[in-house]
Structure 1
Amino acid sequence: MKQNIKMNDIALEVTGATKMFGGVTVLDHVDFTLRKGEVHILMGENGAGKSTLIKIIAGAYIPNAGSIKLNGEPILTNSPIEALEKGISVVYQELNLVEPLSAYENIFAVNQIVKKHGPLQILDRQAMIQRSRELLEMIGANIDVTVPVNELSVAQRQMVEIAKALRMNSKVIIFDEPSAVLTDIEVEKLFTVIRKLKENGMAICYISHRMDEIMQIGDRVTVLRDGKLVGCRDFHEEEITIDDIISMMVGHPMDQQFPKQFFERGEEILRVENLSCGKYFQNVSFSLHKGEVLGFSGLVGAGRTEVAKTIFGALPKTEGKIYFFGKEISVKNPSDAIKLGISLVPEDRKEEGLFLSHSLYSNLMIAAVDNFTKHGVFEKSKIETICHNISRKLHLNTDNLDLNAENLSGGNQQKISLGKWLVANSKLVIFDEPTRGVDVGAKVEVYNLINKLIEDGIGVIMISSDLPEVLGMSDRILVMHEGRPTGELLRADATQEKIMKLATQRGEKEYEQ
């Protein structure tokens, strides 16, 4: 798609970028431009080629074909350090910082300031500390630059990455899913910084799966699909809707973003009475029935994840009772929960939900190892049959279950994280942020899997910070604030405004179920 851009406005121009791995083309003659003083959104499903394009720009990959110009001059970067020195910085979702080192040491990881000490040159730490403070002040960040970055919040670490880019006089900054682990307040602070950078003429590429964000912060959007350029649209010149962008990403109209199915409400699966867990949450009560999705909403730190972990036995309850199919249960650890048929698909699938360096077989069978052994010997044929049946049910994009989990896209990793509980014949599945970091097409697949669980009589609790997701997929919504429930809303009565009011402050009287 030709774009009407003045040449002196272009900070970065990628022409015909192509990359192949083992004879497979993962990026196919893609053009991409970044203007000075704009936020250009880069979108596409997992596997669309976004990461490959960014790694080519950032010097991590050398393209098989194509060229890059920076401020009109051809460049060739053979490493991320070279790209950084030329003025191209990337702020990754998994931040590229040396955690034991201080903020200022990370900011000056390259080209440190030195001073003469007799015949020698030594590091001028005070100068680097002062300059780091100045850079952070420029973006409105108040951070102790002498503190190791592993003691900083994720949002503060992002500010350190941005300061590092400014220190290198970067002309282009690429943000790769920067908001995935931030609170709404932290996201707004990040947007304030991005707007400042934009006003100062910085060229910014912003990658995100969050539709509401791109409409807030973006000037243009480029969409990739299957390694090819689908198109580039200008928010200021065209009427562009979220549905338009989704259709570009998936290749067909997206009439229903949340394919919620409705089932008859059945018997009670779970009942929690006055459940407490020390400092994390107090006096939480709710019930879950067959045929419904119970959504949990609230700000980060409200205690939702801790409630899930307590039911799953990963945190000890200090008070209260848990009933499962009408019988009071004592869950002292996850092993107890698994034996009962209670499962948890965690928020951080890479750290808590999967063994990334192990095969899909291993990940699928891990929660039900005893089901695959006879006299202490694994029954390979049984393992293969059940795992292949589950993989087909999950619509995995591979039949090779010997593949390691780390080689899957985010959406398929989430399917495997759920799949092990299907192998274990779970009766209750608790999803914590089920679609975080998952592209639009894969989100719909996750929602369809939730529908299938409900249809099969399996209970589903869904914890989510994505309000449209909570509203779109829940039958009832329990809202929490600072460790306490503040209200329960039926689907028909729930709105974003009502949820946010309950999530940000306690009601005048104690919540009653």
Structure 2
Amino acid sequence: MSTPVLTLDRVSKHFGAIQALAEVSLALHAGEVVGLMGDNGAGKSTLVKIIAGNFPPSSGTLAMEGRAVHFHKPSDARAAGIEIVYQDLALCDNLSAAENVFLGRELMRGLGPLRWIDYPAMRQRAGELFAELKSETRPRDLVRRMSGGQRQAVAIARTRLSDPRIVLMDEPTAAISVRQVAEVLALIRRLREHGIAVVLISHRMPDVFAVADRVVVLRRGEKVADKPVGASSPEEVTGLITGAIAAA
């Protein structure tokens, strides 16, 4: 098998006397979707925030394609090709889809000392990204008029701007309709088709088993399972999450 795009080796995280993660090891490969599951307080968010550069591990190491990396801030992780889609999506309702895709990274044109935002170029590129994702979202659409699935398309298109190698997704199918869930799962499959590794944090068992290649279960900061979804079952994962099953 090829070298993992990201490897975590015995990563731990302490917040004072509280141990949020205890020696968690994990490997992510290109074009792979990993479902990250666990109860509230299991350590999922802490693990993802370490990968995203929000804070460093207390111990353990991270490596990308075998080379050690140290992320001191989120921009370090983004520069290495790691993007994150937070549960709240961080979109501006009063702006268009294209403006949200380029938020903070607007394309500019200039003539002499004059500079202005190149809206036509932004709309064109955003349209290309939506077409890649096979989304019906249009660049001029206002976010406030969008469904939950369309909003996810905008947030995912924004990650594609930087040609990422890893996309972290925090509960992308929470609080949206069944039809919109299907749209979001299709978007995740598109990312996989482009060779991007995806970490899907979700409480929704059917979604994880529908789209993930592997399932990783955390319980009280420890990894208790890491296996192909085909070798597991929703019943087993539920047992692992609750502690009815010690490890798998």
Structures share a fold, TM > 0.5? yes
Higher relative contact order (CA 8 A, sep 6+): 2
Match of 2:240 in 1: 248
Question: Following superposition, which runs of at least 4 residues in structure 1 exceed 4 angstroms of deviation?
Answer: none
Matched, 1:118 2:108: no
C-alpha deviations, 1:442-484, integer Å up to 9, x for none? Answer: xxxxxxxxxxxxxxxxxxxxxxxxxxxxxxxxxxxxxxxxxxx
Do the aligned residues in 2 keep the contact of 1:30 with 1:228 (CA within 8 Å)?
yes
Q: TM-score, normalised by structure 2?
A: 0.91
Do the aligned residues in 1 keep the contact of 2:33 with 2:200 (CA within 8 Å)?
yes
SS of the counterpart of 1:150? helix
Identity among equivalent pairs (%): 35
Whichever residue aligns with residue 77 of structure 1, its letter is F
Do the aligned residues in 2 keep the contact of 1:102 with 1:148 (CA within 8 Å)?
yes
Where in structure 1 are there 5+ consecutive unaligned residues? 1-5, 255-513
Do the aligned residues in 2 keep the contact of 1:103 with 1:146 (CA within 8 Å)?
yes
Match of 2:187 in 1: 193
Matched, 1:99 2:132: no
> Which of 185, 208, 220 lines up with 1:214 in the alignment?
208
Match of 2:61 in 1: 67
C-alpha deviations, 1:387-434, integer Å up to 9, x for none? Answer: xxxxxxxxxxxxxxxxxxxxxxxxxxxxxxxxxxxxxxxxxxxxxxxx
Q: CA 1:94–1:25 in structure 2 vs 1: closer, same or farther (change >3 Å)?
A: same
Where in structure 2 are there 5+ consecutive unaligned residues? none
Q: Counterparts of 1:331-410 in structure 2 under 5 Å? A: none
Match of 2:138 in 1: 144
Deviation of the 1:133 alpha carbon: 0.9
Match of 1:38 in 2: 32
Do the aligned residues in 1 keep the contact of 2:185 with 2:207 (CA within 8 Å)?
no
Q: TM-score, normalised by structure 1?
A: 0.46
The count of residues paired between Structure 1 and Structure 2 equals: 246
Deviation of the 1:166 alpha carbon: 0.8
Match of 2:173 in 1: 179
C-alpha deviations, 1:224-251, integer Å up to 9, x for none? Answer: 1101111211134x3x222211121122
Deviation of the 1:24 alpha carbon: 1.3
Deviation of the 1:70 alpha carbon: 2.4
Whichever residue aligns with residue 97 of structure 1, its letter is L
Counterpart Cα distance in 2 of 1:50 and 1:145? 33
**Bigger mean CA offset, 11-20 vs 245-254:** 245-254
Matched, 1:130 2:107: no
Counterpart Cα distance in 1 of 2:111 and 2:142? 27
SS of the counterpart of 1:27? strand
Do the aligned residues in 1 keep the contact of 2:33 with 2:213 (CA within 8 Å)?
yes
User: Larger C-alpha radius of gyration, 1 or 2?
Assistant: 1
Supply the RMSD in Å over aligned alpha carbons: 1.9
Match of 2:199 in 1: 205
Do the aligned residues in 1 keep the contact of 2:148 with 2:180 (CA within 8 Å)?
no
Counterpart Cα distance in 2 of 1:242 and 1:147? 38
Counterpart Cα distance in 1 of 2:82 and 2:237? 27
Do the aligned residues in 2 keep the contact of 1:243 with 1:253 (CA within 8 Å)?
no
